[in-house]
Amino acid sequence: MQVQPIFIIGSYRSATSLMGWVLGQHTKIFPLEETHYIYRLSCDAVSQHELGTKGLARSFLASANISRRSYCVAAGVSCNDLILQSRHDIVESAKLPQHAADASDHVKFCVTPDKNRWVDATPENAHYVYSLLRMFPKAKFIHILRNPKLVASSLMNFSGVGANDYEEENAYNTWTRLVGACQLAEKAFGSEVVKRIYFDDILTDPESVVRECLEFVGEEYQPDCLGPFSLKVNSSRHKQPQDISIEGNINDSRPYVRNAFKLYQELLQNKDLKNKGDLKSLRLCKQKDADLIFSRSQKGIDYINGDRARLLAENSRLQAESLKLKVELMRARLKVIDWGPQAVYAGQPFNAQANGASALWIKVSGLEEDVDVELGGTLLPTFVADDFSVITVEVSRSLTSIPCAIPLTFKEKESGAVVGELELSVLPFAKHKMFS
């Protein structure tokens, strides 16, 4: 039996799940929930083959003369067998009470002897068309294209269906990322492998869309496939955007909106896909696949970790250099215009504040942020005016209890580097008495 899976690809909120259930009503097609593990398996199979053919003098796969292609196809056959053997258990699980809310009279989730094909509606499969075809050479892909503004609006209100809302830029970039991957697959493999359908056609003429899709995958039309269309196509409840036209959005001030609508316009202007793919796109698809495989290999993980370590080290170096320049700039700019008292008497209060503490005031220029002030190495409570023109520091009596000259230093807060320095004179109290 040939393995002929069907993959529905496109952006989230483009009816990919709905079309999975639609085709899954066919007597020969079994619908899968979004899988995510299959596309990962398609990449990992390559790494497994590499592991099984290198390192040892007589490794198993090399000795058995099993090529990478054969190994990946075997992995696809095993994956297919596992799915087909699990159909009954999947259906029985769906009947459990906790899944009752998902049931519908319009959707038949059952196992029949003829359901020997399956459909997977995981949108992320768009990035893995090359590797999925390596594992399933007879696979078919259906790309659903929906207006990017409608998709973004739906993603930004995703909480209406129990998910997390997207930020606007992330919503548009998600559409561009997934639809861009679908476009590359269309160019690389042609219309014999990837078929494009349009969300608007699903709304206006669902029967024609279903007939096209079933003809594409080689199955006869069955009216039961229209059942899921009785459900609401877009289940998120939110106010729809007003202007979804290309003309009204392609010159938007936001680059992520412009990029999405430029891609959307390009796809709508090129509806007639070539039967066969072009070599340039195929090579690009192959390179992206190789990059994905490398990123998941141990060598790739080691490289990424090493690269991350190098980037962290470089970032630390740049931060240190930036801080050094900041300190030098502060030191050059900070000027003390006046300050006082510049001399105090040992053990005596001075410039008394409302809270009874003694204080020094420093009038400065060139200060653009808060600084720490220390007297003889002791950090003082410091208050900087809103316009950074005056610094007031509180001084405890214990710091000026004996006659001496004490350094008064200004330090950059983050590094503790000295950016300015004065000297406070503490005079003997007896001298004070003589002057009085």
The mean of the pLDDT values for the chain is 89
**pLDDT-wise least confident of 136-145, 253-262, 306-315, 387-396:** 306-315
Rounded to an integer, the average pLDDT of 166-175 is 95
The partner residues of 141 in beta bridges, in order of sequence, read 7, 194
CA 387 to chain centre: 41
The partner residues of 373 in beta bridges, in order of sequence, read 410
pLDDT at 291: 86
Q: Residue 330 in contact with residue 412, Cβ under 8 Å?
A: yes
284 phi/psi in degrees, rounded to 5:
-65, -40
Is residue 56 pLDDT above 80, yes or no?
Answer: no
Nearest to 258 by CA among 164, 152, 182: 152
pLDDT at 300: 60
- Strand 358-365, strand 335-340: pairing: antiparallel
Rounded to an integer, the average pLDDT of 88-109 is 74
Q: Euclidean distance between the first and final Cα of the chain, in Å?
A: 113
386 phi/psi in degrees, rounded to 5:
-55, -35
**pLDDT-wise least confident of 185-189, 260-264, 304-308:** 304-308
Q: How many helices (H) and strands (E) does the chain have?
A: 14, 14
Return d(Cα 259, Cα 265) in angstroms, integer: 10
Q: Residue 33 in contact with residue 40, Cβ under 8 Å?
A: no
pLDDT at 304: 67
Nearest to 46 by CA among 126, 138, 131: 131
Stated pTM of the model:
0.70
Query: What is the DSSP code (8-state) at residue 165?
Result: P
Peptide bond into 349 cis (omega under 30): no
Is residue 405 pLDDT above 60, yes or no?
Answer: yes
CA 182 to chain centre: 19
**Burial profile 388-408: b = 16 or more Cβ within 10 angstroms, e = fewer:** bebbbbbbeeebbeeeeebeb
Longest dimension (CA), the chain: 115
Is residue 234 pLDDT above 70, yes or no?
Answer: no
Rounded to an integer, the average pLDDT of 118-142 is 96
In three-state secondary structure terms, 343 is strand
pLDDT grade, residue 436 (50/70/90)? very low
Nearest to 374 by CA among 405, 395, 355: 395
Helix runs in 129-167, H state only? 129-135, 148-156
Q: Which two tokens stand for residue 130?
A: 């090359």
In sign, the C-alpha dihedral spanning 86, 88, 90, 93 is negative
CA–CA distance from 17 to each of 149, 164, 221, 247, 407 (Å)?
Answer: 19, 18, 19, 30, 73
**pLDDT-wise least confident of 234-238, 373-377, 394-398:** 234-238
In three-state secondary structure terms, 394 is strand
Structure confidence by residue, pLDDT tens digits, 296-315: 666 666 766 777 788 888 88
Return d(Cα 404, Cα 312) in angstroms, integer: 47
404-412, strands of its sheet edge to edge: 343-345, 418-427, 404-412, 371-375, 378-379
